[in-house]
Structure 1
Amino acid sequence: MSLTQQVDDWLLKEALGRPRLETIFEQLCLRLNCIGVPIARARLNWPTLHPLFRAEMISWHRNQPSAILDHFHHQDANTDAWQRSPLRYMLDANLPVLRRRLVGPGRTLDFPLFEELAAEGYTDYLALRTEFAEPGMFMEGRAGGIIVIWASDRETGFTDEDLRVLQDIQQTFALACKSIIQSQITSNIVETYLGQKAGRSVLNGNIRLGGGATTRALVWYSDLRNSTRLTGSLPSEAFLQLLNDYFECAARPAIRAGGEVLAFIGDAVLVIFPIDEVTDPEALTARVLDAVGESFKMRDTANDVRREAGLDLIEFGIGLNIGDVVFGNIGVPERLAFTVIGATVTEVERIEKLTKSLDTNVLASANVAALVPGRWCSTGLHMLNGVEREMELFTLCPETQVALGLAAAAE
């Protein structure tokens, strides 16, 4: 068996497992060097389907300890570096191969990148592109697939035999990449629309009606105020922008604190913080309290911008509760939703609704307030709609508002 065939067979075996793409690429670069192909610098690029990123890249250098994964945001497509890159040229011209000698009689430095590589001591450059179908790529008019870039610093560059080896392994490497990339895109889509916990549960096979589990959790529920008036008075695009501004304020701090958004329910947000045997409830509740403060500071900042632009302001309440919740699949067998239900969820929705009548933006149950004593002040006992027993509710004490950087929890 030839040395090239050994590398090819190794790639096929890796594709059958569950490897990280960074690990495969790093090992491929090392194995190519071991069979005499002088790789000094390598790049693996591919488009992806993700709400934040349009493409990803793994970079490897012979003198660095491991391969590095980088992401390119959607706005990066308009940067000067991308517009002047050889990869952009390859995609626009639909080229499968781009080779440039960077030194010697045949040197061609027709892109700024090649001038930089030549100055760094590289002598040869080869880019190989392989297309394959990927979910969602057609929506943006982008071709799926990979572009692999190899660069050498050997004085004579790549030999004809080196070029043959790199082209021979390209298709097998593309197959290995395809299985990993498509699996990652599937995870991206599922977790974007369902959340990380629910998404992983679905991908792990929890797709039957009624399947679920009970767990203890801190539940955060937020609802936009004056939504009926806003939907009736604002154009749809303006209302959607207001909604997204609101969701950024109401959900982002909770996510940073370790929460998971389980649902956007119209103009409400449901976030859960699971509590297991290794969770410190007091520390978790303190983080959530800080997140509440950050949420309203973000609201104030967003409202400063909206006020300057003559736009409607954002107002919302937040309710917090702790108790047992049930994660489960509801709906009909053909169309399921993975959600959280139970008395704790019902209560937190009702708790939030009282924020407006009690002239406060934050209310918490006694279970939450007891975990961070001295930071909440009681508002007394209240009947919640649909809940048989009275519940004592708490709002932020004045000194807590000051500590969180808030002038007041209610306006």
Structure 2
Amino acid sequence: MRLPSALAWLLDVASTVPRPDHFLAALGAQLIADGLPLAGGALTLSAPHPIIARRTWLWRAETGAVIEALGFGFLGQAQPKQGNVGHDWLVGLGTGLVLEHVAGPARDGLTSEGPPSNSPVLGWALSRPRTETESELLHQAARFAAAPLAVLAAQSTLSALLEAYLGRRSAAQVLAGRSRRETGEIIHAVLLYGDLRGFTELSEAMPPQAVVASLDAWFDRVAGAVHAFGGEVLKFIGDGVLAIFPIGERSRSAACDAALSAVGAARAGMIHLDQVGGRQGLAPLPFGMALHVGDMLWGNIGTADRLDFTAIGPAVNLVSRLEGLCKPLSRSVLVSGAVAAETTTALIPLGEHVLRGIAEPCAVFTLPDV
């Protein structure tokens, strides 16, 4: 007996599909090829991420397009009851007829409850009432989908955890199997380095919980601004942070403008944080941030059995030394001449300065005062 194409695909191919959106679209197309009147589909996976509780992919049969929706929550905390985004979207297709399957058990009918803990949820909207044969095929598809969905759920869990702890770029390298010491990749980017000034002394006078809260508040302002303008945080180093605005998909000048916008937003966020903290009797958090543009090497460095992703190169050395000038120059943001040459943003020149360990003097600029 010849299996329907959807079931054959689930047996032979589905376990090799690397991404949930591809899985959903491909399975939907196979079911349509078997004669099912699908209007759309939805796939929801839980995500053990610090702020994302679940990820849902929504597929429209008419166009074949897949979009993603995120459900937010906090890792390790009980989640409040939420509507099921996938269910609501399927109902919104206008048919009012939804068949939802939880891998592996299947359930038939409409429900707005969120997915069970850690269970993938696969749902379909149909353009007309289904026949008994079509209903049986959907039930069989749910059973056959359980194993490949378990693989996708495990991959999604691993990816979410690695991105939370390593960042997107490093997580991708680990998932690609790069787990040995190696040269790494050359990244051409605008580099941002920042840290809190006098934090060692401040932490001596603060309870540990307050120290962590202050670090979190600082990192929230910097990382939030970096991500908002298309940058990527590579590494937290004590109270320091290294971020990049890659050059490639956007021009060198566009990356410099984005980085300057990010440091401006981070500086405004820190000023507001100090204002709020001052009303609560908290000490201000002085900081320094520096920008430079150039090449850096990003790769696995360490011992044979204990690795870390590290950035090295002249550009990294310069941006770190440039940030060290923030305190003697009484500035919270310093910008290298290489960045200043690429942007139309109004900057204030501070002259040329010798940086420790750097052969050539560096032209230094800063942003106007807020």
Could you state the TM-score of these two structures normalised by the residue count of structure 2?
0.81
Contact (CA 8 Å) 1:145, 1:174: kept in 2 or not?
Answer: no
Q: 1:53 to 1:211 in 2, by over 3 A?
A: same
CA deviation profile, 1:105-150 (whole Å, cap 9, x unmatched): xxxxxxxx8xx969x6636x54332259xxxxxxxxx743322334
Residues 1:145 and 2:115 are matched in the alignment? no
Residue from 154, 157, 170 that aligns with 2:142? 170
2:110 is aligned to none
1:342 is aligned to 313
Residues of 2 paired with 1:378 and 1:121: CA distance? 64
Contact (CA 8 Å) 1:382, 1:391: kept in 2 or not?
Answer: yes
Using the TM superposition, give the Cα deviation of residue 340 of structure 1 relative to its aligned residue in structure 2, in angstroms.
0.6
Q: 1:130 to 1:359 in 2, by over 3 A?
A: same
Identity of aligned residues (%): 29
Moved more, 356-365 or 37-46: 37-46
Q: 1:117 to 1:219 in 2, by over 3 A?
A: closer
Mapping of residues 164-203 of structure 1, within 5 Å: 164-203=136-175
SS in 2 for 1:288: helix
Amino acid at match of 2:6: V
Query: How many residues matched?
Result: 356
Residues 1:240 and 2:212 are matched in the alignment? yes
CA deviation profile, 1:76-123 (whole Å, cap 9, x unmatched): 9325646xx9x9xxxxxxxxxxxxxxxxxxxxxxxxx8xx969x6636
Residues of 1 paired with 2:125 and 2:295: CA distance? 57
Mapping of residues 318-397 of structure 1, within 5 Å: 318-372=289-343, 375-385=346-356, 387=357, 389=359, 391-396=361-366
Residue from 256, 269, 278 that aligns with 2:228? 256
Q: 1:16 to 1:43 in 2, by over 3 A?
A: closer
Q: 1:151 to 1:261 in 2, by over 3 A?
A: closer
Residues of 2 paired with 1:77 and 1:296: CA distance? 33
Moved more, 288-297 or 37-46: 37-46
Using the TM superposition, give the Cα deviation of residue 292 of structure 1 relative to its aligned residue in structure 2, in angstroms.
1.7
1:54 is aligned to 53
Contact (CA 8 Å) 1:131, 1:144: kept in 2 or not?
Answer: no
Amino acid at match of 2:265: E
Using the TM superposition, give the Cα deviation of residue 334 of structure 1 relative to its aligned residue in structure 2, in angstroms.
0.6
Residues of 1 paired with 2:226 and 2:363: CA distance? 21
- Decide which structure has greater helix share: 1
Residues of 1 paired with 2:247 and 2:103: CA distance? 46
Q: Structure 1, unaligned stretches of length 5 or more?
A: 88-112, 133-141
Q: 1:34 to 1:247 in 2, by over 3 A?
A: same
Moved more, 261-270 or 15-24: 15-24
Using the TM superposition, give the Cα deviation of residue 275 of structure 1 relative to its aligned residue in structure 2, in angstroms.
3.8
SS in 2 for 1:54: strand
Using the TM superposition, give the Cα deviation of residue 356 of structure 1 relative to its aligned residue in structure 2, in angstroms.
0.9
1:18 is aligned to 17
Residues of 2 paired with 1:32 and 1:237: CA distance? 54
Amino acid at match of 1:380: G
Structure of greater Rg:
1
Using the TM superposition, give the Cα deviation of residue 373 of structure 1 relative to its aligned residue in structure 2, in angstroms.
6.8
Residues of 1 paired with 2:354 and 2:279: CA distance? 40
1:107 is aligned to none
Using the TM superposition, give the Cα deviation of residue 224 of structure 1 relative to its aligned residue in structure 2, in angstroms.
0.8
Could you state the TM-score of these two structures normalised by the residue count of structure 1?
0.74
Residue from 292, 309, 313 that aligns with 2:284? 313
Contact (CA 8 Å) 2:44, 2:57: kept in 1 or not?
Answer: yes
SS in 2 for 1:355: coil
Using the TM superposition, give the Cα deviation of residue 169 of structure 1 relative to its aligned residue in structure 2, in angstroms.
1.8
1:268 is aligned to 240
Using the TM superposition, give the Cα deviation of residue 209 of structure 1 relative to its aligned residue in structure 2, in angstroms.
1.5
Using the TM superposition, give the Cα deviation of residue 152 of structure 1 relative to its aligned residue in structure 2, in angstroms.
5.0
TM-align CA RMSD = 3.4
Using the TM superposition, give the Cα deviation of residue 33 of structure 1 relative to its aligned residue in structure 2, in angstroms.
4.7
Mapping of residues 71-110 of structure 1, within 5 Å: 71-74=70-73, 77-79=79-81, 81=83
Q: Structure 2, unaligned stretches of length 5 or more?
A: 106-115
SS in 2 for 1:356: coil
